[in-house]
Structure 1
Amino acid sequence: MTFSVLARDPVTGDLGVAVSSCILAVGRAVPAAQPGVGVVAVQARSRRGLGKALLEGLAAGSTPAGLVRRAAHSAEDADRQIAVLDATGRISADTGPGSFPVSGHLVGAGFSVQGNMLASDEVLPAMSDSFSATGGELPDRLLAALGAGQAAGGDVRGRQSAALLVVGAEPATDEDDGVRVDLRVDDSGDPVAQLRMLHNLQRAYDERDYDHLAVFAPEEARDLYAALAASRRGDREAVRRALEALRTRPGWSAWWSAMAGDDRLSAVSRLLG
C-alpha cells in the first residue's frame, strides 16, 4: 500500500527516508530514524513496533542485513516489507511473501526503494533511476525518487499522504536533536507535490529567502517578509509600503516590539532612517 526510498548522503552522512501511500498519515506508520544510528521503512502488514525495534537493533550494534534476516525468519513478520540503513551506508531490504502485490524492492549503493500494492512493475525502477540521476542535497534526491514513483503510477489505489524525514550523521545532543527535515502531508489529493512545496518553504526559512516567504509564508506574515526582502534589495519605498500594510494587521505593534532585538528588523529601520 506504500512506496518509499531510503538513502545516505555520502558527503554529509545525513540519513533520510521519503514515503507516500494511499493511507491516512503514512508518516506516522512507515518511516523512523535516529540521528547517528540509521533510518528504516516498515511497510505492508508489518507490526507497528517493528520500526522501533529495528532502530534499537542498529543502536546495539546489529547490521542491517542481520536485522532483516532475523525479521525474515520471524513467523509474526511473514507479511512485512522492511528496509534498514545504518549510519555507515550499509543497507538491506526484504519483501515478505505475504506482502500485497505488485510488491518488491531494489537496493543500490547507499539507498533502496521498496513498495507494495503498486500500480505497475515500473514504479520501483523509475524511483531507483531518478534517485541515481538526481544531484543536489539528500532531501531533493529523495523527493525526486518519490515523484518518479508517483509519475509511474505509485499506489494502485490512489494518493493520500506522504512524508520526508532526514536526520544527521551524528547522535543527537542537548544543543542539536539531529533532525534536519521532518515534514508530513497527512491527507491530500497530491501529497508528493504538497510535500515538495513544504520542503521548499522550510528551505526558504532556513536560508532566509524573504522573496519566497513574502509569497508562500502564512498570509499574516507576508508583509513582514516583503519588508525584509525589500530591505535586502535596498528598496526604501517597497519597505515603506510593506510596513504600512503590516500596520493594518491585528497586534502588529506587539509583534514588532517583541522582535525589537532582531538584526533583520534593525536593517529595515536603518534603511528607513
Structure 2
Amino acid sequence: MTFSIVATDGVDVGVAVSSKFVAVGAFVPHVEASVGAVATQCYANPRLGKLILALMRQGVHAREAVERAVAQDSERELRQIGAVDARGNAYGFTGRQCPEYAGHVVGSGYVALGNILAGPQVVEAMAKAFETQRGELVDKLIAALEAGERAGGDRRGKQSAAVVVLRPGGGYLGLTDVYVDIRVDDHPEPVAELKRIFKIWELTLLQRDDPRDVVLKKDVAREVQEALRRLGFYKKEPTGVWDEETEKAFRDWAGYENFENKIRGDDKIWGSLYRYLIEASRRS
C-alpha cells in the first residue's frame, strides 16, 4: 500500500517509494545497473521484481517482461508493478483488486504508481514533478516523492521511504554501481528524513559539486588550521601557510569524517567540504 516511481535517464536507473508500511525499501525496489528498475507493491510479490529484471537482462522490453511475469502469478489482480528498462521503455500494471485509489501514470522513461492513495492527484503530481525537476535522476525521484506526499500520498498515513539509484561504476570510489541507496524504515516524516539523509550522502559520497564552488587552500589556510585545531587534528599554532602538516591534518580530518571521496589532488578544497569543516569546528 504504497506510492512509488521507477525511472531511468538512459544511464542511471532507480526507484523512490514511500508508504504507511514498515521498511518499504526492503520489499518494493528492484534495481540492476544497465538493466532496469522495478517496483513491486500493493500485496507485493517481490519474486516478480527479480523475474522481471531477469527478463530485461535478456533484452526483453519492460512491458513484455511485466506481462510474462504477472501471467505466472495466480494473484496478479492484487499486484501493482512499475517497470522501466535501461533503454527507457516503461510499463505499469495495476491489478483490478488493488485497493482504491490505485493507478499509475506512464511517461518517457518513468512510471509513477500507487494504491490506497488519497486520489489520482498523487500519481499525477509525481509525474509532473519528475518531468519538471532539474538535475540528475536522483533529484527527480526525490522531487516526485515529495510531490506525491504533498498531494495526499498513502491515505493511511506515513511510515517509511526509500530511494535507490544505480549507475555503472558510479558508486563509492568507482568500485560499485550503488550511486544512492537510502532507507528510512520507521519515521513520522519519512520523506523529509530521506531528503535530510540524502544531503549527507551527497556531501560524503557524490562527486557532483559545482566546479565553481571551490576555495584556494592558500586563501583559507589560517581559518582551516584554526578549525582543525579546535577539532583536535592540527596541533600547532596557526601560521596561515598551507604546509605539509596542514595537508595531513586536513586529510586526517576528512578520513575521520568519511570524506575521502571528496579529497582533491590540487590546491583547492570543495566549497561544500570547507563550509562543513568550519561549521563543525564552531559546534565543537
TM-score (norm 1): 0.78
Residue 277 of structure 2 aligns with which residue? none
> Which secondary structure does the structure 1 equivalent of 2:45 belong to?
coil
Alignment correspondent of 1:82: 81
Which SS does the other structure have where 1:200 is aligned? helix
The higher-RCO structure (CA 8 Å, 6+ apart) is 1
Structure 1 contact 35–171 (Cα < 8 Å) conserved? no
8 Å contact 1:82–1:95 — kept in the other structure? yes
Match of 2:3 in 1: 3
- Within-5 A mapping of 1:163-242: 163-168=162-167, 176-205=175-204, 206-207=206-207, 232=217, 234-242=219-227
Q: Which moved more, 1:229-238 or 1:59-68?
A: 229-238
Query: In 1, Cα distance between the equivalents of 2:122 and 2:158?
Result: 14
Give the Cα separation in 1 of the matches to 2:255 and 2:65.
50
Structure-2 change in CA distance of 1:59 and 1:150 (3 Å): same
Instruction: Give the superposition deviation at 1:188.
Output: 1.2
Residue-by-residue CA offset, 1:80-136 (whole Å, 9 max, x unaligned): 000111110111110011212111011011111000010122111111111111121
Tell me the equivalent position of 1:123: 122
- Structure 1 152/59 Cα, relative in aligned 2: closer, same or farther at 3 Å? same
Percent identity over paired residues: 39
**Matching of residue 91 in structure 1 with residue 90 in structure 2:** yes
Q: Verify the 8 A CA contact 1:42 1:51 in the aligned structure 2.
A: yes
Structure 2 match to 1:212: none
The AA in structure 1 aligned to 2:9 is D
Match of 1:66 in 2: 64
Residues paired across the two proteins, number? 240
Aligned to 1:53: 51
SS at match of 2:75: helix
Structure 1: 5+ residue stretches without partners: 210-228, 269-273
TM-superposed deviation, 1:60: 2.3
User: What CA distance in whole angstroms lies between the structure 1 residues aligned with 2:169 and 2:109?
Assistant: 17
Partner of 2:112: 113
Write the deviation string for residues 138-171 of structure 1: whole angstroms up to 9, x where unpaired. 1111111110000001011111111111112589
What is the alpha-carbon distance in structure 1 between the residues aligned to residue 111 and residue 27 of structure 2? 18
Q: CA RMSD in A?
A: 3.1
- Following TM superposition, by how much is the alpha carbon of 1:57 offset from its aligned partner in structure 2, in angstroms? 1.5
Pick which of 126-135 and 230-239 moved more: 230-239
- SS of the residue aligned with 1:39? strand
In the superposition, relative to structure 1, how do residues 264 and 70 fare at CA in structure 2: closer, same or farther (>3 Å)? closer
